[in-house]
Structure 1
Amino acid sequence: MRTLNCIIVDDEEIDRLMATSFVKRYPYLNLIGVFENSEEAFKVIQNQAIDIAFLDIDMPTLNGLDFRKQTLHIPVCVFITSHPEHAVESFELEALDFIVKPLKFDRFDKTMQRIVEFLEIKHKAQLFESSIGGDIFYIKEGHNQTKVKLHDVLYLEALKDYTLVVTNEKRHCVLSSIGNLLKEVHFQSFIRIHRSYAVQKQYIKKIMPYEVELHNNKHIPLGRSYKDSLNVIL
C-alpha cells in the first residue's frame, strides 16, 4: 500500500484526538493536518494532494457536507458524526463510509479495510488507456476494449457505482463513480451540473432554472447547488 495523505476535520477536541490516535496506528497513513474547522483545512488542501478526508458534519460556518461538496476531488471521504440522519445525504456526496460517534477502533479498522479495498480495485481496474490521438480513449467492456471519440460523448450519468458514458450511438457503462471519472485527463472539458450528470462545456446551448439544454436539444437536470458555479465557469 502506497502512502496515503489524509486530513481530519472536527470541531470537537476529544473526537479529533481520538481520530488522530487511530490514524497513527496505520503506517501507510500520512496525517497532513488536524483541523477544528473547514476554513483552516481549505488553506492546507489548496497546495497539498489529499487521498482521504475524515470529516465531522456538524461544524460552525461551513459544515462537513458543504466542505465535501467543494472537495469532491478528494478520492475518499469518511464522515464521522453524531448525526445519523445525514447518512443518505453523505453517500450522495460520494462518501465511502459513514461512522456514528462515539468513534471506536474496531469500527474505524473496518473503514480502513474498505478504503484499502476500494483503492486497490480502483488501481487494478485501469478502465482507460491513453492513445496517441488526444481525442481517443478506450473503455473496457468485458474482455474487449471499445474505442470512443471524446467529441462524440454527450454527457456522463452517474448510476450508483457505475457511470454511463453517453454518445449519440451508444451508452457505455464503466465501473467508476462520476466523481473519479471527472479526474481522468480525458474528461477535463466536462463540468458537473448535477450530482448525477456532467456535460462538455462547449455543448451547452442554454442554461435554464432547472435544466441545461445541449446543442442536440437534449435536456439534462441542473442541480441547485451546481448552478452558481456553472454560471461562473461559463
Structure 2
Amino acid sequence: MKSYKCIIIDDDEIDRLTVVSYAKRFSQLNIIGVFENAEDALPLLESNAIDILFLDIDMPVLNGLDFRKKAMQVPVCIYITAHPEHAVESFELDTLDFIVKPIKLDRFTQTMSRIEDYMELKIKAQLFESSIGGDVIYIKEGFTETKVKLHDILYLEALKDYTKIVTSTKKHCVLTSIGNLLKESHFQSFVRIHRSYAIQKQYIDKKMTNEIVLNNGVLLPIGRSYKDNLNF
C-alpha cells in the first residue's frame, strides 16, 4: 500500500488530537508534522514533498485559506472547520473535501475513501474520449477502450480535476472535471445535486430534505444551492 505524507494544522488542541488519532488508524497516512499554527508548518513544505493537508480555517495570524495559497503544490487539501460558510471559498483553492466540526470517525473514513480514489485516479490518468451515436461514451483505460452506455450511468462524482463515472457494475475514471463533463452534449440528462455529485433523475428512488436515495440503495447528499435542480 502506498504511503502518503500528511501534515495536520489546527489551533484547537482537542480537535488537533482528534484528527491525529483518526489519521493514525490508517496505515497509508504518514504524519510528517502536527502544528497549532500554520506559520510553523511553512518550513516543512520547503523540505518535504507533502501529499495531504488536513487544515483548520479559522486560525490566528495565518488562516487555513491563506496557508493553502502558499501550499498549492500539495495535491490534496482537506479542510476540517467549524465554519461551513467558508466552503465555497475553500473549493476555489483546489480542495478535495470539506468537513464540518465536530469531526466523527465515519466522516473521516469517507474522506479517506475520497483520497484513495483521487490518488488512484492520478496514477491511472484515464482520458475521456468521444461518444458514438449520442448514447455511448468510450473511456480509455491503459491501451484499451471501454464502452459505457449513458443510460447505465447511475451518478458522477467529482474528485478535483477528475470525475468518477459510476454504473451498477463498475466505476470508471476520466481526466476531466465534473463541470466540464456536464457541458458535454452527451451529459444533458444529468442533474447537478451537489458540488461533488450529478445524477440522472430516473434513478432516484427517494428524495429527502438533504439527501436522495438511488434505486440501488446508494445515498447521496443534496447541496443547498442545488436543491432547485431536483424540482420535479
Question: Superposition pairs for residues 139-178 of structure 1, below 5 Å?
Answer: 161=161, 175=175
The two structures have a TM-score, normalised by structure 1, of 0.56
User: Residues 92-120 of structure 1: CA distance to partner in whole angstroms, max 9, x if unpaired?
Assistant: 10100000000110000000000000110
Give the share of equivalent positions with the same residue, in percent.
62
Residue type of the alignment partner of 1:59 = M
Give, in whole Å, the separation in 2 of the partners of 1:36 and 1:46: 18
Q: CA 1:143 to 1:11, structure 2 compared with 1: closer, same or farther past 3 Å?
A: closer
Give, in whole Å, the separation in 2 of the partners of 1:85 and 1:13: 22
Give, in whole Å, the separation in 1 of the partners of 2:140 and 2:5: 34
User: Residues 35-78 of structure 1: CA distance to partner in whole angstroms, max 9, x if unpaired?
Assistant: 01111110212101100000000000010000001111000000
Aligned to 2:122, the other structure's residue is in SS state helix
Q: Identify the residue that residue 61 of structure 2 maps to in structure 1.
A: 61
Q: Identify the residue that residue 20 of structure 1 maps to in structure 2.
A: 20
Question: Superposition pairs for residues 1-234 of structure 1, below 5 Å?
Answer: 1-125=1-125, 161=161, 175=175
Give, in whole Å, the separation in 1 of the partners of 2:21 and 2:56: 16
Give, in whole Å, the separation in 1 of the partners of 2:176 and 2:72: 14
Gaps of 5+ in 1: 128-140, 145-159, 163-173, 178-234
The two structures have a TM-score, normalised by structure 2, of 0.56
Structure 1 consecutive aligned stretches of length 4 or more whose deviation exceeds 4 Å: 141-144
Give, in whole Å, the separation in 2 of the partners of 1:63 and 1:122: 28
Gaps of 5+ in 2: 128-137, 142-159, 163-173, 178-232
Aligned to 1:46, the other structure's residue is in SS state helix
Aligned to 1:78, the other structure's residue is in SS state strand
Give, in whole Å, the separation in 1 of the partners of 2:161 and 2:48: 27
Q: Identify the residue that residue 207 of structure 2 maps to in structure 1.
A: none
Conservation of the 8 A alpha-carbon contact between 2:7 and 2:54: yes
Q: What is the number of residues matched between the two proteins? A: 139
Q: Give the superposition deviation at 1:161.
A: 2.9
Aligned to 1:115, the other structure's residue is in SS state helix
Q: CA 1:124 to 1:38, structure 2 compared with 1: closer, same or farther past 3 Å?
A: same
Conservation of the 8 A alpha-carbon contact between 2:45 and 2:71: no
